[in-house]
A and B are shown apart, each in its own frame.
Chain A
């Protein structure tokens, strides 16, 4: 169990990271909004509590490795890495711009600490499995995490990897599914139904844990439990809210691929979207007075 002060610290980090995500997307003028906001709590827990890592030594051989499979949510990874000390926070505003290390989809060689190149869906879990297998061959204890989306489970390559990791009992591998129920064209269950999702993974010889992806205790407990499962890999199905933190866009699949400034105008005009979202984050959805409103 995390202490109250640990949880408070993680929550404050997550708010700051969400603000950075909005600022980055506004500056970039393109990119995905819903997924990064939905995975912010998990990335915050990863970089500020779970991962064995060193931001000043990204190639440290003893580090745990976090593979990002659905590369389009990389703003959350960039923002979290910057806040964790991998690179200066102001560099976040170079996202998607010419000459930036922060490519629209992540490229391993561009930015130390990224671990893998991704964007085209369905290949991250395989890469994570290969790393986990290589580490096991050498008797190393590092843990591999793979953050992936629910939508990319439409890809055959995903299931090839699920079958492979289950067959090889890769207990040093933990997959975390961003179960936010949306993909670009609509909800997962209308586009290509995934349920019963947990049963499918169990049938492929994975240990399954389902959590609230916004509850830091559940996130940390699930990872701790996963590390004790020795006979198979573990998948954490993290139920998340797309657009989490900004209630006007939560659950709305139309914000999957739109940045603030280009989203649907039900609530705010395009030109107001960035500032309104930041205001909402900085006031914790109106619960407090913003300490640093523009």
Chain B
């Protein structure tokens, strides 16, 4: 059953009846709200203001919108200067370009320099679909997660993307927010809490957990659907939404591992360096249990629809259920 404390949409287990919206849309709404709350919030675009959903902000606050052209290295470094002076810059592009192309600039002038630039990586994951491997960021969480001073957040739906945007606007620290292009189910509500560094149980009960599923981003909803179907088989799965990959919620994760005794991680990203790697690092150190990983295994993406690619890379509900069964055998 859904965890009532998470205050999810009542129809969460019935995907066809849920609104479908992209996490980038939640960012666009959150950015406008952050702009209304703090006049130091500025937005920079690398020639992608419509598709990264900065357009509304640029119309409402034309003097706080900066068009950089197709220049992601300059995007990061100009933002560094703005933040160093006292602004709160949000820099937006596709994740393969930013933080992909401009990684060293982010490392030196934002993370080591420790200035509060907010890096918004859109079109992440294979779900961007037909564009193919060049535009499907599957390494962005890894390259941001290894950077000291950097916060890394992967929101699970449009509402959480909005809340995360507002949270990082106020954090005073460098942050990376990973967003998707495609519309996905909106299953959290305005009452669902979001706090940087805090995971939340969305399905199941720790008291009778057989398996813990730790998920982020687009795969949280799939994990909930899988857990619901597994309940029919008599398997009690607890789904933990690990929206903040860094700093990771060690306490929430270890509690789950202790209760469940086995873990499955789910992400639309390389397992190496991604959520799977992050979870394995914590549990290996604090409470080793069997772990199965749902995610991309050292491969690039390719063209296709989101559904086709989710099936191909085994990110779908059936694959999560199979991973749970595999993990249970290892308990």
A residues near B, CB below 8 A? 67, 107-109, 115-120, 122-123, 126-135, 137, 156-157, 160-161, 163-164
Contact = CB atoms under 8 A, between A and B. Distances in A.
A9 B115 CA distance: 38
Given A107-B112, A117-B109, A137-B64, A164 B81 contact: no
Nearest to B78: A130
A116 B63 CA distance: 25
Contacts of B113: 107-109, 116-117
What size tier do the contact residues of chain B reach? 20 to 34
Contact of B112 (A117, A127, A129, A160): A117
B108 A126 contact: no
A127 B71 CA distance: 14
Contact of A134 (B68, B71, B85): B85
A161 B80 CA distance: 13
Contacts of A164: 68-69, 71, 74, 78
A160 B102 CA distance: 13
Interface string B53-89: 0000000000110101101011011111111111101
Contact of A126 (B63, B77, B114): B77
Contacts of B10: none
A55 B316 CA distance: 60
Contact of B74 (A120, A131, A135, A160): A160
Nearest to A135: B85
Contacts of B83: 130
A161 B63 contact: no
A157 B73 contact: yes
Contacts of A122: 73
Given A108-B114, A116-B113, A118-B108, A134 B81 contact: yes
A116 B71 contact: no
B105 interface: yes
Contacts of B87: 134, 137
A83 B142 CA distance: 44
A175 B199 CA distance: 47
Interface of B: 42, 63-64, 66, 68-69, 71, 73-74, 76-87, 89, 104-105, 108-109, 112-114
A156 B85 contact: no
A1 to B, nearest CB: 33
Nearest to B87: A134
A120 B108 contact: yes
Q: For chain B, what secondary structure do more than half of its interface residues adopt (helix, strand, loop), or is it mixed?
A: helix
B64 A127 contact: no
Contacts of B66: 133
B73 A156 contact: yes
Closest 7 CB pairs of A and B: A130-B81, A126-B77, A160-B74, A134-B85, A127-B81, A130-B78, A117-B113
Contacts of A130: 77-85, 89
A161 B84 contact: no
B174 to A, nearest CB: 12
Contact of A157 (B74, B79, B84, B86): B74
7 contacts: A109-B114, A116-B109, A116-B113, A118-B108, A126-B74, A137-B63, A164-B68
Nearest to A71: B108
Contact of A127 (B42, B69, B104, B109): B109
Contacts of B77: 123, 126-127, 130, 157, 161
A131 B82 contact: yes
A107 to B, nearest CB: 7
Contacts of B81: 67, 116, 126-134
A127 B83 CA distance: 9
B78 A129 contact: yes
Contact of B78 (A107, A117, A127, A135): A127
Given A107-B112, A157-B105, A161-B78, A123 B84 contact: no
A269 to B, nearest CB: 37
Nearest to B115: A108
B201 to A, nearest CB: 37
Given A116-B113, A130-B78, A160-B74, 9 more contacts: A67-B81, A107-B113, A108-B84, A123-B73, A127-B78, A127-B80, A134-B82, A134-B85, A160-B73
A102 to B, nearest CB: 16
A119 B112 CA distance: 11
